[in-house]
Amino acid sequence: MHNSVKYILLLFLASLSLVSCKQKQGNKIKVGFSQAMTTDDWRKQMNSSIKIEASLRPEVELKISDANNNIAKQIEDIETFISNKVDVIIVSPIQSKPLTAVVEKSIKAGIPVLVVDRKIEGENYTAYLGADNIEIGRITARYIISNSKGSGKIIEITGANGSSPAYERSLGFDQIINENKHFKVENTIHGDWEGESVKVPLKAILSKNSDIEYIFAHNDRMALSAWETAKTLGLEKKIKFIGVDGLNTVNGGIELVKSGILDGTILYPTGGNEALKLALKMYNKEPISKNNILNTIVIDQNNAEIIENQMDKVDQQQVVIESQQGAIKVQEREYASQNNLVRLLSFFLVIILSLTIYSIYSTISISRKKKQLERINQTVIDQNNEIQEMAQIAQRSNEAKLNFFTGLSHEFKTPITLIMSYVESLIENEKIKGTTLIDEVKLIHKNSNRLLRLINQLLDFRKIEEQKFTLRASNTKIYDFTNEVMTNFKGEAARRNIDFQLICKNKNLELFIDRGLMDKVYFNLLSNAFKFTPDNGKISILISENQDNTVRISFKDSGIGIPENELSNVFNPFFKASNNNKNSSGIGLHLSKEFVLLHQGTIELKSKQGTEFIITVLKGNIHLQPSEIVNKAENLNRTPNLILDNLDIGTDLNPDIVISESEKHTLLVIEDNIDLVTFLRAKLSSEYVVYTSDGSDAIEKTMEIIPDIIICDINLVDKDGYEISKELKKDLRSSHIPIIILTAQSDKESTLKGLQSGVDQYLTKPFSLSILKQSISSLLFNREKLRYYYTNNIYRVEPESKFGNQEQSFITKMNDIINRNVENPKFSVEDLADKLGVSRVQLYRKVKAIIGINISDHINNVKLEKAAELLKSNNMNISEIAYSLGFSSPNYFSTAFKNKFGISPKEYKSST
Ligand code: FRU
């Protein structure tokens, strides 16, 4: 159990016991009172006074058992007290002898016994309380003797036989009477303490003997009965009656004395209150006398009034006491209920206090725990931050490394291109062609090509990681495509006597594939197959259509296979089978899987006898995004086969074709790789005047040369290729120059960026020299076509022309200026250059580049066109037109006009 819960429970129990302790009766003094009977007033008064006394003592618990004058019942009552282990027993025995044993039993049980009124036999009780009954007898006798005036004859009516007062009263009475000879107890009637027992025997006696002076009855009840009996005989006045008890009640002794019925009565106090006091002393083991005698007195006509008054007062006080007792009880009850309320409140207070303490404790412990948790949390946050920082550092370092390797891989491309290009030249070199060197050169080429593939794989891996690949799928005849890729391996298959087959029933089967990516997949799978298949082995590609609209392309070899437990790992990056002793980057299969996944296809591996890779792709193109589908023509991003390319353009490389310097176009190569510059110069200078710039002075050089075409790298020292291209394309002086970007950055974003900066062609390294050459001549050819267009439409070009590009607007603007100054003989080329914001040379070169003639000739042409217009209008003669257009003489004008239009101005005028 939780400590705090235990604590609360403990408090709760403590509070509960606090409330309930009031209910406990255990500390009370139990007093058992065995009353002989309760039929008469004397007994009732005795009970009443003992109760009043008990009520004054809250520590006392009084239990009165009424024996109803039944001895057996009285014995039983006392036995019950004994078994209930009362503290003290008070007993008023009905008779002496029968009760003696049970009293002794009580004493033996350790319960003290107070005998009251009537005695038991022997001394085996704790104490006795009562008036001295022998003395009562004596007092009565003395009273009679001293007051007698008559015969001295007495009738004695005794109490019940066997009860000690009856015996003792007779004893004392007889002692004194017998001493005096005048007095004699004539008759003794044995009553039973009640009036009825008197009547019959007394009537009989009185009927015979009327000379009776006194009748002494042992109690007032029997005395009254005796008077009543005497009265029936008319003797009530003659005889004097004396009783015992002297109760102050209706028909009690005092009233009977006062009314003259009794002559006197002997006070016999009940001793109820004294009995309880004595019992408590016994309980407390205080020293007490064994016999405790209550005082007695004779009540007669002389003192009855006084005693009655005194007793009334006592009774009144008793009533007061009783009412006070009642009030006390009420207050006690109130006190008890208030006490209970207080206890209840205390209980709740304790509970509230406990809960308060607990809540304070909880608050403190919660706040401690909170602080602890906050500390832990902070530590976790700190650690997390640290981890994140470390992760960021690691990521940055990883990025840096990857960028470094990616950059490095890009860097590799240029030298490899150079190597391959030179090697291609060597392969084509007549001096080597026939020699044994050719095989070695081809080996160099083959390995360079392999190196290039590996670098491309590395770059693809990075690209896959960055999720930069976008599928560019086009409808492809898969049989033809497969065959084309297989061509690259047929040589090796033949050399190593490998049975290399393609099995495909439907040769027209079409699939939407990204040919560039699928080419890489095929190359990887076939390279692997060839790598692990021994000579004389078998490699086959099986293309089949499945029922579920998919196509299965299986690459099966008879190689060493892959251990079964490693099959699930083959597509993981950097995986290398345990039985593979060959060098392997471990990313080829990973890339293949990623490329197949890009096609929404699957690739799986079976390896039992040899290895079988199975590609499954869906037919059609519904499974592809519209952005992933392209036209066939766009889908040619496969690494060009440099050997084949160069063989095709073999004649281009022939140095025999020499173009004169003046005919050559000018070409500016902006490239900081000296080797590449050297290579390009070597390969292109036969056809072009090659200028170079390492990029630091690219703009200045361009403005200076105004070349016909520019080849520009991207990664340059000062400005990158994009910036240079943008600037050149913005500038009116250079905007017409076609720019070819030649870069190692082959990704889509870079290409897009290049095209956005206005470049005309974007070629990636490693590049095919033939493609580069073709691109240069195509761009120049296009420029030529444009020039032709401009030349032939120069005068019809309107400012709003739909052909409005940079050059268009330049020409429009230039023509406008010329037209406005056509009749100004002083208007010069310099003026025109000034107005166009370019230098004279730049104007000359730009106009030459755009429209193919020099600017002066162009101005003259405009003038001549104007002249033709004027000739048609017929308003001016030829001389006027010649001078107005600034020609130095009409003759020179006529010659120039005839040169342009083939007829003289005169003939032209007359022909309209
Ligand atoms: C009451 C009584 C008294 C008498 C006493 C003697 O029951 O009869 O009248 O004095 O008992 O025990």
CA torsion angle 861 862 863 865 (round to 10): 90
Task: Extract the tokens encoding 578.
Answer: 């345990």
Q: How far, in Å, is the centroid of ligand 1 from the Cα of 669? A: 156
Whole-number Å distance between alpha carbons of 62 and 292 = 21
Q: Please determine, for residue 804, whether its predicted confidence score (pLDDT) is greater than 50.
A: no
Are 472 and 512 a contacting pair, CB within 8 Å? Answer: no
* 37 CA: nearest ligand 1 atom: 7
Q: Omega before 98 cis (within 30°)?
A: no
How confident is residue 790, by pLDDT bands cut at 50, 70 and 90? low
Q: So what's the pLDDT on residue 692?
A: 92
Q: What is the mean pLDDT of residues 23-35?
A: 80
Q: So what's the pLDDT on residue 226?
A: 97
Ligand 1 neighbours, Cβ below 6 Å, are: 40, 42-43, 117-118, 159, 163, 165, 193, 219, 221, 244-245, 268
Q: Could you tell me which residues come within 8 angstroms of residue 611 by beta carbon, excluding any fewer than 6 positions away? A: 528, 529, 532, 556, 557, 559, 561, 562, 605
Q: So what's the pLDDT on residue 794?
A: 53
How confident is residue 618, by pLDDT bands cut at 50, 70 and 90? very high
Indicate the top mutation candidate among 219, 244, 249, 267 to test ligand 1's pocket, ranked by most ligand atoms within 8 A of CB: 219
CA-nearest residue for atom 8, ligand 1, is: 193
* Local structure of residue 473 (DSSP, 8 states): B
Pairing of strands 665-670, 709-712: parallel
Indicate the top mutation candidate among 116, 245, 265, 294 to test ligand 1's pocket, ranked by most ligand atoms within 8 A of CB: 245
Q: Please determine, for residue 325, whether its predicted confidence score (pLDDT) is greater than 80.
A: no
Q: So what's the pLDDT on residue 32?
A: 97
Q: How far, in Å, is the centroid of ligand 1 from the Cα of 122? A: 21
Q: Please determine, for residue 855, whether its predicted confidence score (pLDDT) is greater than 70.
A: yes
Alpha helices in 133-181 (DSSP H): 133-147, 164-179
Q: What is the mean pLDDT of residues 327-351?
A: 84
CA-nearest residue for atom 11, ligand 1, is: 193
How confident is residue 14, by pLDDT bands cut at 50, 70 and 90? low
CB contact burial 664-676 (16+ within 10 A = b; e otherwise): bbbbbbbbbbeeb
Whole-number Å distance between alpha carbons of 648 and 186 = 184
Q: Please determine, for residue 553, whether its predicted confidence score (pLDDT) is greater than 50.
A: yes
Q: What is the mean pLDDT of residues 487-508?
A: 91
Q: How far, in Å, is the centroid of ligand 1 from the Cα of 244? A: 8
Q: How far, in Å, is the centroid of ligand 1 from the Cα of 193? A: 6
Calculate what percentage of the chain has a pLDDT beyond 90: 43
Q: How far, in Å, is the centroid of ligand 1 from the Cα of 410? A: 140
Whole-number Å distance between alpha carbons of 412 and 602 = 33
Q: Out of 486-490, 801-805, 840-844, which region has the weakest mean confidence (pLDDT)? A: 801-805
Q: So what's the pLDDT on residue 258?
A: 96
Q: Which H or E run contains 60? A: strand 60-66
Q: So what's the pLDDT on residue 593?
A: 93
Q: How far, in Å, is the centroid of ligand 1 from the Cα of 42? A: 7
Q: So what's the pLDDT on residue 20?
A: 53
Q: So what's the pLDDT on residue 800?
A: 45
Q: Please determine, for residue 279, whether its predicted confidence score (pLDDT) is greater than 80.
A: yes
* CA 521 to mean position of chain CA atoms: 47
Q: How far, in Å, is the centroid of ligand 1 from the Cα of 100? A: 19
Q: What is the mean pLDDT of residues 481-493?
A: 90
Whole-number Å distance between alpha carbons of 839 and 624 = 55
Indicate the top mutation candidate among 35, 42, 43 to test ligand 1's pocket, ranked by most ligand atoms within 8 A of CB: 42
Q: So what's the pLDDT on residue 583?
A: 59
pLDDT: is 248 or 17 the higher one? 248
CA-nearest residue for atom 4, ligand 1, is: 219
Highest average pLDDT, of 76-80, 637-641, 689-693, 751-755, comes from: 76-80
* 117 CA: nearest ligand 1 atom: 12
Q: So what's the pLDDT on residue 757?
A: 80
Range list of β-strands (E), 581-623: 602-608, 610-618
Q: Please determine, for residue 896, whether its predicted confidence score (pLDDT) is greater than 80.
A: yes
Q: Out of 279-283, 359-363, 462-466, 838-842, which region has the weakest mean confidence (pLDDT)? A: 462-466
Q: So what's the pLDDT on residue 662?
A: 67
How confident is residue 12, by pLDDT bands cut at 50, 70 and 90? low
Q: What is the mean pLDDT of residues 767-786?
A: 82
Indicate the top mutation candidate among 129, 218, 254 to test ligand 1's pocket, ranked by most ligand atoms within 8 A of CB: 218
Q: How far, in Å, is the centroid of ligand 1 from the Cα of 40? A: 8
Q: How far, in Å, is the centroid of ligand 1 from the Cα of 219? A: 6
Q: How far, in Å, is the centroid of ligand 1 from the Cα of 158? A: 11
Report the half-sphere exposure of 598 (CA within 13 A, side-chain side). 27
Q: So what's the pLDDT on residue 98?
A: 96
Q: Please determine, for residue 592, whether its predicted confidence score (pLDDT) is greater than 50.
A: yes
Q: Please determine, for residue 812, whether its predicted confidence score (pLDDT) is greater than 70.
A: yes
Q: So what's the pLDDT on residue 643?
A: 31
Q: Please determine, for residue 802, whether its predicted confidence score (pLDDT) is greater than 50.
A: no
Name all contacts of 126-130 with Cβ < 8 Å and 24+ positions apart.
126/282, 126/290, 127/278, 127/282, 127/288, 127/289, 127/290, 127/291, 127/292, 128/290, 128/291, 128/292, 129/271, 129/274, 129/275, 129/278, 129/292, 129/294, 130/165, 130/271, 130/292, 130/293, 130/294
pLDDT: is 233 or 396 the higher one? 233
Q: How far, in Å, is the centroid of ligand 1 from the Cα of 225? A: 15
Q: How far, in Å, is the centroid of ligand 1 from the Cα of 157? A: 13
Q: Out of 74-78, 452-456, 492-496, 499-503, which region has the weakest mean confidence (pLDDT)? A: 452-456
Q: Please determine, for residue 319, whether its predicted confidence score (pLDDT) is greater than 50.
A: yes
Q: How far, in Å, is the centroid of ligand 1 from the Cα of 233? A: 27
Q: How far, in Å, is the centroid of ligand 1 from the Cα of 117? A: 8
Q: Please determine, for residue 650, whether its predicted confidence score (pLDDT) is greater than 60.
A: no
Indicate the top mutation candidate among 43, 74, 117, 244 to test ligand 1's pocket, ranked by most ligand atoms within 8 A of CB: 117
Whole-number Å distance between alpha carbons of 85 and 87 = 6
Q: How far, in Å, is the centroid of ligand 1 from the Cα of 823? A: 176
CA-nearest residue for atom 9, ligand 1, is: 219
CA-nearest residue for atom 1, ligand 1, is: 42
CA-nearest residue for atom 3, ligand 1, is: 219
Whole-number Å distance between alpha carbons of 63 and 65 = 7
Are 86 and 31 a contacting pair, CB within 8 Å? Answer: yes
* 36 CA: nearest ligand 1 atom: 7
* 219 CA: nearest ligand 1 atom: 9
Q: Out of 39-48, 266-275, 372-381, which region has the weakest mean confidence (pLDDT)? A: 372-381
CA-nearest residue for atom 6, ligand 1, is: 165
Q: Could you tell me which residues come within 8 angstroms of residue 100 by beta carbon, excluding any fewer than 6 positions away? A: 120, 121, 122, 124
Residues 655-689 have pLDDT tens digits of 334 456 667 889 999 988 877 888 888 889 888 99
Residues 869-883 have pLDDT tens digits of 888 887 788 888 888
**Amino acid identity, residue 240?**
K
Alpha-carbon distance values, 903 to 62, 878, 894, 895, 900 (Å): 166, 14, 9, 9, 8
Q: So what's the pLDDT on residue 724?
A: 92
Q: Please determine, for residue 641, whether its predicted confidence score (pLDDT) is greater than 70.
A: no
Q: So what's the pLDDT on residue 783?
A: 78
* 164 CA: nearest ligand 1 atom: 12
Indicate the top mutation candidate among 268, 294, 296, 299 to test ligand 1's pocket, ranked by most ligand atoms within 8 A of CB: 268
Residues 117-167 have pLDDT tens digits of 999 999 999 999 999 999 999 999 999 999 999 999 999 999 999 999 999
Q: So what's the pLDDT on residue 586?
A: 78
**Amino acid identity, residue 437?**
L
Whole-number Å distance between alpha carbons of 613 and 778 = 43
Average pLDDT taken over every residue of the chain: 85
Residues 563-581 have pLDDT tens digits of 888 888 888 887 777 776 6
Q: So what's the pLDDT on residue 244?
A: 98
Domains of the chain: 29-129 (3.40.50.2300), 131-301 (3.40.50.2300), 439-646 (3.30.565.10), 659-787 (3.40.50.2300), 806-911 (1.10.10.60)
Q: How far, in Å, is the centroid of ligand 1 from the Cα of 651? A: 167
Indicate the top mutation candidate among 118, 193, 196, 294 to test ligand 1's pocket, ranked by most ligand atoms within 8 A of CB: 193
Q: So what's the pLDDT on residue 294?
A: 95
CA-nearest residue for atom 2, ligand 1, is: 193
